[in-house]
Chain A
Amino acid sequence: MMWLIIGSEAIFFISLIMGYIVFWRTGHFQSTVKAMLDIKLTSVFSILLFTSSFTFWMAEREYKKGEQKKLQIWLLATIVLGIVFMVGQGHEYYGLLSRNLTLSSSEFGTSFYTLTGFHGLHVIFGIIMLIILFILTLQGFFQRKTTLLSTIGIYWHFVDAVWLVVFTIIYVVPYL
């Protein structure tokens, strides 16, 4: 089921990315990106988000081995990395807004905030699910056999994969 939802979500993001690319032609995106966005700082936060996929994978491994304590630690690490990424995005938004780049200021603002904002919403949703998972581990839920962890894992890896595409298109491509 999660795969179907992911497929559906993927098409949602493809539509948004198409919107971004359509405005690319007309909106002087290349110069705006170079002037406004801090690729170095965002790269750091992106790497942290990608790391969270790794920590989640470790959590799953420990779960299969039945190591409850280690499972909790890796889950917590994943949550923290997710939150750090969101703090990074908040910091970036704050900086851009104070320089008068808003949703309604230009085509770039419109498509940039929509695309990264919808991704951010998905990360927040993922963090909420991870926190629920974490509480369940504290209650010993994962001593038994369940597919819950791997199901949510599909979602979390998907959110990271979307960011890989979004990051590449928004931040990296203008420098190529």
Chain B
Amino acid sequence: MQSSYEIEQPRAAYKDYKILRWLTTVDHKEIGIMYLCMATLFFVVAGLFALLMRTQLAVANNHFLGPNIYNQVFTMHGVTMIFFVMVPALLGFQVYFIPMMIGANDTAYPRMNAFSFWITFFGGLLLYFSFAAGGAPNAGWFNYAPLNEYNYSDSPGIDYYCVGLLLAGTGTISTGVNLIVTILKYRAPGMSLKQVPLFVWMGLVNSFLIVAALPSLNAALSMLLLDRQLHAHFFNTASGGDALLWQHLFWLFGHPEVYILILPAFGIYSEVFQVFSGKRIYGYAFVAGSTVAIALLSFGVWVHHMFATGLGNTVNAFFGASSMLIGVPTGIKIFNWLGTMYGGSIRLTVSMLFAIAFLIEFTIGGLSGIAFSIIPIDWQVTDSYYVVAHLHYVFIGGSLFSVFSGLFYWFPKMSGRMLDEKLGKIFFWLMVLGFNMTFFVQHFLGLMGMPRRVYTYPDLPRFTLLNLVSSCGALLMGVAILVLFYNVYKTLKHGKPASNDPWDGFTLEWYSWALPGMKNFEEVPEVKSRRPFFDEKYPEKADWKNND
């Protein structure tokens, strides 16, 4: 749908850029695109790891990958997907669109922005250098002590894990700081914090989470590095260390981390639901407020990853209860989005389809997750495929779908061209089908007792069948991703040129040119409501005339 509100194109920006330009840029839009490219690169690698694993697990008693290789593959899959795919992809969207949505021309610290990107990228390269240095990390993405110590993992992989994540963590913290200052100081005149788009709200809360959560990971990694390199005693149980200290420090970071991966996703969905329902968000304050609640609660639930370590009933009961509480603010949001769709004129674009699929998949992932807060259930299914199913339902159905949704939503702004909706719908259905095939059956495998992170399994009744279904699903997802890549390639080559406002959007990024130059705005319309661009386009229906 084309809106009547068009602005003349200033210049085609990215086409003529040379490599050197990309290497030295401090423009937030280019850095945002580089984040997305980096995420794509690592996504391909980690996705291939996933396919390797599913090939290994397709039939019982398979010896395609040995246990040693398998350990490295699942560790690298997890570490890469979390730290070098989901975090950069979501940061990419935030770095690109948060300044535009608040009517700013760049982030507060453009050079620090570039620094953050490069240090994260080199952290990732360093992690992968471990393959050349004698073996990748092999103790899982949460890398439990004392398995992560030099006397149990003597390949240098885990040292590279420490250094790579320290670098990436530093970069992520600086981006968090940068975004907070940008949001607090660089808003357009008249835009109060109660009027910023919800994506920006999520970015703000998310950045505070980053700044508060990453340091405990950095501390734990530093300690582990001291242990491994200088034989300190932090986590080495053989010489008086405390293996549980690693778990506490790791999950004190790790649980906020999973919210760092979902809050920006909530932000993307909030924008997509509004625009493609043609309505304002239902309960703006509740979405923003419940996010703050989630952020605060996230620091009080880490022990639910550790119920099996025997911390005692009092501790377990407290963290079981706090984990159940998390369900409340998250549930509120689901109803906010449903309420936004209710009575709206819904346009089923690919972006919107992913958002709707998210509502369903994320609810499944949320329900399987809340089950863990009932401690006996947790004891029964911990470290089984049930956990694998749960975490992929929230990571893929929540975070990754938001990246796809955001990609189809914002691609016209980032490239000046429209992604092919028809190919996009093929991609969507292949993806959703493949995803559910892969992971839904894993709930049953877990309940039947199949442990995670074991390279093969005996030919028990139904084990082979369910695993084969799961592997076929993974292959289907692989095909879906190929369709997406083809779509992006085709669009960049000769896609339909986009106008500056192809979706009839509400927020200020659509007020800028179709392909913004170095400067995002010559001037910004006066902000009087939460939908400044909507007010500008439809002055007779403007929000500020009616109520808020």
A109 to B177, CA, bound (A): 34
Do the beta carbons of B241 and A107 come within 8 Å of each other? yes
Do the beta carbons of A12 and B216 come within 8 Å of each other? yes
Do the beta carbons of B226 and A114 come within 8 Å of each other? yes
Task: Check: B245 CB closer than 8 A to any chain A CB.
Answer: yes
A1 to B218, CA, bound (A): 20
Give residues of chain A (14-30) contacting chain B, Cβ–Cβ below 8 Å.
Answer: 14-16, 18-19, 22-23, 26-27
Task: Check: A110 CB closer than 8 A to any chain B CB.
Answer: yes
A107 to B232, CA, bound (A): 8
Do the beta carbons of B212 and A8 come within 8 Å of each other? yes
Task: Check: B145 CB closer than 8 A to any chain A CB.
Answer: no
Task: Check: A128 CB closer than 8 A to any chain B CB.
Answer: no
Give residues of chain B (225-246) contacting chain A, Cβ–Cβ below 8 Å.
Answer: 226, 230-234, 240-242, 245
Give residues of chain B (204-225) contacting chain A, Cβ–Cβ below 8 Å.
Answer: 211-212, 214-216, 218-220, 222-223
**A138: min CB distance to chain B, Å:** 25
Task: Check: A4 CB closer than 8 A to any chain B CB.
Answer: yes
A52 to B37, CA, bound (A): 47
0/1 string, A25-57, CB within 8 A of B gives 1: 011000000000000000000000000000000
- Collect the chain B residues with CB atoms within 8 Å of residue A106's CB: 233, 240
- Collect the chain B residues with CB atoms within 8 Å of residue A7's CB: 211-212
The 8 Å CB contact of B242, one of A22, A103, A114, is A22
A26 to B233, CA, bound (A): 12
Do the beta carbons of B216 and A19 come within 8 Å of each other? no
Do the beta carbons of A16 and B230 come within 8 Å of each other? no
Do the beta carbons of A1 and B177 come within 8 Å of each other? yes
Do the beta carbons of B181 and A4 come within 8 Å of each other? yes
Task: Check: A151 CB closer than 8 A to any chain B CB.
Answer: no
- Collect the chain B residues with CB atoms within 8 Å of residue A19's CB: 219, 223, 234, 245, 249
Task: Check: A148 CB closer than 8 A to any chain B CB.
Answer: no
**B110: min CB distance to chain A, Å:** 13
Do the beta carbons of B211 and A26 come within 8 Å of each other? no
Given A15-B219, A15-B249, A16-B219, A8:B211 Cβ within 8 A: yes
A107 to B231, CA, bound (A): 11
Given A110-B233, A114-B226, A26:B212 Cβ within 8 A: no
Task: Check: A173 CB closer than 8 A to any chain B CB.
Answer: no
- Collect the chain A residues with CB atoms within 8 Å of residue B226's CB: 103, 110, 114
A13 to B499, CA, bound (A): 50
Number of residues on chain B facing chain A (CB within 8 A): 30
Do the beta carbons of A27 and B232 come within 8 Å of each other? no
Least CB separation from A26: chain B residue:
B240
Task: Check: B180 CB closer than 8 A to any chain A CB.
Answer: yes
- Collect the chain A residues with CB atoms within 8 Å of residue B215's CB: 8-9, 11-12, 15
- Collect the chain A residues with CB atoms within 8 Å of residue B248's CB: 18
Task: Check: B432 CB closer than 8 A to any chain A CB.
Answer: no
Give residues of chain B (241-267) contacting chain A, Cβ–Cβ below 8 Å.
Answer: 241-242, 245, 248-249, 252
Task: Check: A176 CB closer than 8 A to any chain B CB.
Answer: no
- Collect the chain A residues with CB atoms within 8 Å of residue B220's CB: 15
Task: Check: A104 CB closer than 8 A to any chain B CB.
Answer: yes
0/1 string, B307-337, CB within 8 A of A gives 1: 0000000000000000000000000000000
Task: Check: B173 CB closer than 8 A to any chain A CB.
Answer: yes
Do the beta carbons of A15 and B216 come within 8 Å of each other? yes
> Which secondary structure characterizes the binding site on chain B?
helix
Task: Check: B411 CB closer than 8 A to any chain A CB.
Answer: no
- Collect the chain B residues with CB atoms within 8 Å of residue A114's CB: 222-223, 226, 232, 234
- Collect the chain A residues with CB atoms within 8 Å of residue B176's CB: 4
The 8 Å CB contact of A12, one of B180, B218, B240, B245, is B218
A18 to B129, CA, bound (A): 32
- Collect the chain B residues with CB atoms within 8 Å of residue A4's CB: 176-177, 180-181, 211
A11 to B321, CA, bound (A): 25
- Collect the chain B residues with CB atoms within 8 Å of residue A125's CB: none
0/1 string, B180-215, CB within 8 A of A gives 1: 110000000000000000000000000000011011
A31 to B240, CA, bound (A): 17
Given A4-B177, A114-B232, A22:B245 Cβ within 8 A: yes
Task: Check: A141 CB closer than 8 A to any chain B CB.
Answer: no
**B248: min CB distance to chain A, Å:** 8
- Collect the chain A residues with CB atoms within 8 Å of residue B241's CB: 107, 110
Least CB separation from B249: chain A residue:
A15
Least CB separation from A4: chain B residue:
B177
- Collect the chain A residues with CB atoms within 8 Å of residue B233's CB: 23, 104, 106-107, 109-110
Do the beta carbons of A103 and B216 come within 8 Å of each other? no
- Collect the chain B residues with CB atoms within 8 Å of residue A15's CB: 215-216, 219-220, 249, 252
A23 to B239, CA, bound (A): 12
A7 to B230, CA, bound (A): 29
A5 to B230, CA, bound (A): 28
Task: Check: B404 CB closer than 8 A to any chain A CB.
Answer: no
Do the beta carbons of B212 and A11 come within 8 Å of each other? yes
Task: Check: B115 CB closer than 8 A to any chain A CB.
Answer: no
Do the beta carbons of A104 and B231 come within 8 Å of each other? yes
A18 to B215, CA, bound (A): 13
- Collect the chain A residues with CB atoms within 8 Å of residue B109's CB: 1
**A71: min CB distance to chain B, Å:** 27
Most buried by B among A19, A27, A107, A114: A19
> Nearest 9 A-B pairs (CB), nearest first?
A15-B219, A104-B231, A12-B215, A11-B215, A110-B232, A110-B233, A15-B216, A4-B177, A8-B211
Q: Which residues of chain A have a CB within 8 Å of any CB of chain B?
A: 1, 4-5, 7-9, 11-12, 14-16, 18-19, 22-23, 26-27, 103-104, 106-107, 109-111, 113-114, 118
Q: Which residues of chain B have a CB within 8 Å of any CB of chain A?
A: 108-109, 173, 176-177, 180-181, 211-212, 214-216, 218-220, 222-223, 226, 230-234, 240-242, 245, 248-249, 252
